């Protein structure tokens, strides 16, 4: 039976599913050198964001066939090194899409209504309602930079709340924002590498982006 090493905490349900087809060892909090010493015993490695799978670790994984990331993105895996050794790298891109989008919306509503400040005021014995009334998001313009799975869900919910939508994403085709009923947000670059929007700047701004190679940052 294949052997799987789980090096970051994951839900027991996931471990139970893996245990149906493989022998699963859960060893979290390993130092890189400790992982190098034992990875050769395993056919698969399951990680989250805590473990950085470097080229050294991949080279030591003489039996390794697959690296699975229980979450979005594989930025903590040396994918080129894995590819050179024929090791498959997979993730679960929709694993926390809704949770991340809801968290972004919760933060937006919290800031719009001054909830953190109002909470601190009440806890200190105050009750200054006028200061912490906040503002409605209804009919306000939200700018969403990064219209992937999370950004798209934020756009859908924001539209349902009556907000006006602007979006910017260099990797998304024009017809995708149209399906979401958002408008393209066009940018130009100044000589000092700062950006200026050609559209009215939004009242609220959501960023759903990750670091990218320098070649893309143009």
pLDDT at 15: 93
Question: What pLDDT does 217 receive?
Answer: 44
Pick the last residue of a domain from 45, 60, 91. 91
Q: For the residues 38-58, what does the mean pLDDT come to?
A: 96
175 and 208 both lie in a single domain: yes
The two tokens of residue 5 are: 């090493």
The secondary element (H helix, E strand) that includes residue 108 is helix 97-112
Phi, psi of 163, deg, nearest 5: -90, 155
Closest residue by Cα to residue 139 from 156, 111, 158? 158
Burial label, 214 (beta-carbon count in 10 A; 0-12, 13-18, 19+): exposed
Q: Which of the two residues, 4 and 211, has the higher pLDDT score? A: 4
CB 89 within 8 A of CB 79: yes
Ranges 127-136, 146-155, 162-171: which has the least confidence: 162-171
* Mean pLDDT confidence for 110-134: 92
- Count of residues making up the chain: 218
Among 37-46, 72-81, 196-205, the range scoring the smallest mean pLDDT is 196-205
My answer on whether 55 and 139 are in the same domain is no
Mean pLDDT, residues 124-129: 90
Q: For residue 192, what are the domain limits? A: 97-216
**Same-domain check for residues 34 and 85:** yes
Total tally of structural domains belonging to the chain: 2
Same domain, 24 and 87: yes
* pLDDT for position 140: 92
Pair 121, 210 in one domain: yes
Cβ neighbours of residue 132 under 8 Å, at least 6 residues apart?
113, 114, 117, 118, 121
Reduce the DSSP state of residue 153 to 3 states and report it: helix
Q: Tokens representing 65?
A: 């066939």
What is the reported pLDDT for 149? 86
């Amino acid at each position: 039976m294949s052997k799987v090493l789980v090096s970051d905490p994951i839900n027991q349900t996931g471990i139970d599913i893996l245990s149906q087809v493989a022998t699963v060892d859960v060893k979290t909090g390993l130092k890189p050198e400790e992982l190098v010493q034992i990875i050769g015993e395993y056919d698969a490695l399951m990680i989250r964001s805590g473990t950085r799978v470097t080229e050294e670790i991949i080279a030591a994984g003489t039996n390794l066939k697959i690296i699975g990331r229980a979450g979005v993105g594989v930025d903590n895996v040396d994918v080129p090194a894995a590819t050179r050794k024929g090791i498959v790298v997979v993730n679960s891109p929709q694993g926390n899409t809704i949770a991340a989008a809801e968290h972004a919306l919760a933060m937006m509503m919290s800031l719009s209504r001054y909830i953190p400040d109002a909470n601190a005021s009440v806890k200190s014995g105050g009750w200054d309602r006028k200061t912490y009334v906040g503002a409605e998001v209804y009919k306000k313009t939200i700018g969403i930079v990064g219209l992937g799975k999370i950004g798209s869900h934020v756009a859908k919910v924001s539209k349902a709340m009556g907000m006006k939508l602007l979006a910017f994403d260099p990797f998304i085709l024009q017809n995708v924002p149209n399906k979401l009923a958002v408008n393209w947000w066009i940018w130009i670059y100044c000589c000092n590498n700062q950006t200026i929007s050609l559209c009215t700047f939004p009242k609220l701004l959501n960023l759903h982006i990750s670091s990218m190679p320098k070649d893309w940052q143009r």
